[in-house]
Structure 1
Amino acid sequence: MNKRLIIAAATLATGLAAASPAAAQQWRWNEGNWRTIGTTRVVGRDNVVVQLPGVTRQREIRVCALNAPLRLRDLDVRFANGGRQDLNTRAVLDAGTCTRAIDLRGNRRDVTAVHLRYEPVALRAARPVVRVQVR
């Protein structure tokens, strides 16, 4: 009886230890040098604008899909000086994955908004949460 209890406790501890790093990494605010500057839940099949507060002078940008897959068709980055950069990504993001690091033209651009054109991969109850990260 005591041996079964020890084996069950060891199995449970191993399962929790294996699951914790993946969940912690998925929701991490500052992962490596990446900093999350905007998050939104996408609804339907269209587009969304993520307004970014403050000054975010950065060189690279990436978009991550959380809790559901997403087909990202286009990414339009707006800058404080009125300029914009249109990026055709055409990426399918599985839940918990991100696009590649995309270089922003110029030297340390001030990003004010990101316009995303997307469509969900599967119609289901869970809608993707999109996270915009810069560095």
Structure 2
Amino acid sequence: MNKHLILGLAGAAAALTAAAPAAAQQWRWNEGNWRTIGYTTVDGRDSDTVNLPGVTRQREIRVCALNAPLRLRDFDIRFANGTRQDVNTRAVLNAGTCTRAVDLRGNRRDVASVRLRYDPVARRAARPLVRIQVR
């Protein structure tokens, strides 16, 4: 009887310990009033474009990798009025991390799409899920 009780308590403690970091990470995503406006799963080549719906006027943008690491070389931001902004990052985004906050040129710009350029993802590796956030 004591064996089963000890194993049950150890299992419950392990489950609580595993749930704590996930809750902390979820809180970190919402910090600073960031709002998610688009998702994509990169296909492994070397670039992808995320078309963003709607009209939103924003000041800053960042790119986050969710489930797998991504070597992001740069990303191009295309605005609704046809202009664009190129951002060199040369960053390795580990799963659950984001780029720095990038100020958008102009005053509260309307982002139409974001083109991601990254190093090719290995064929057998997990495809990173990328999230575009603005504020």
Give the shorter-chain TM-score range. Answer: 0.7 to 0.9
User: When the two structures are superposed, what TM-score results if normalisation uses the length of structure 2?
Assistant: 0.86
Q: What are structure 2's unaligned runs of at least 5 residues?
A: none
User: When the two structures are superposed, what TM-score results if normalisation uses the length of structure 1?
Assistant: 0.86
**Count of residues paired in the alignment:** 133
Deviating above 6 A after TM superposition, structure 1's stretches of 4 or more consecutive aligned residues are: none
Q: 1:47-101: per-residue Cα shift (whole Å, max 9, x none)?
A: 1110001012111111111211110001100111111110001101111111111
Instruction: Please name the residue that 1:60 is paired with.
Output: 60
Conserved? CA contact 1:69–1:120, under 8 Å: no
Q: What are structure 1's unaligned runs of at least 5 residues?
A: none
Q: CA deviation at 1:25?
A: 5.8
Structure 1 stretch 72-81 or stretch 14-23: which is displaced more? Answer: 14-23
Instruction: Please name the residue that 1:15 is paired with.
Output: 14
Q: How does 1:36-75 map to 2 (within 5 A)?
A: 36-75=36-75
Query: What is the CA–CA distance in structure 2 between the aligned matches of 1:42 and 1:27, rounded to whole Å?
Result: 22
Between Structure 1 and Structure 2, which shows a larger proportion of helix residues? 2
Instruction: Please name the residue that 1:124 is paired with.
Output: 124
Q: In 2 relative to 1, CA 66–13 (structure 1 residues): closer, same or farther, beyond 3 Å?
A: same
| C-alpha RMSD of the superposition | 2.1
Q: In 2 relative to 1, CA 101–116 (structure 1 residues): closer, same or farther, beyond 3 Å?
A: same
Instruction: Please name the residue that 2:87 is paired with.
Output: 87
What is the letter of the counterpart of residue 66 of structure 1? Answer: L
Q: In 2 relative to 1, CA 27–52 (structure 1 residues): closer, same or farther, beyond 3 Å?
A: farther
Conserved? CA contact 2:36–2:133, under 8 Å: yes
Between Structure 1 and Structure 2, which shows a larger proportion of strand residues? 1
Query: What is the CA–CA distance in structure 2 between the aligned matches of 1:71 and 1:37, rounded to whole Å?
Result: 21
Query: What is the CA–CA distance in structure 2 between the aligned matches of 1:39 and 1:21, rounded to whole Å?
Result: 25
Q: CA deviation at 1:102?
A: 1.2
What is the letter of the counterpart of residue 5 of structure 2? Answer: I
Aligned residue for 1:31, secondary structure, equals helix
Q: In 2 relative to 1, CA 57–119 (structure 1 residues): closer, same or farther, beyond 3 Å?
A: same
Conserved? CA contact 1:26–1:66, under 8 Å: no
Query: What is the CA–CA distance in structure 1 between the aligned matches of 2:26 and 2:120, rounded to whole Å?
Result: 20
What is the letter of the counterpart of residue 17 of structure 1? Answer: L
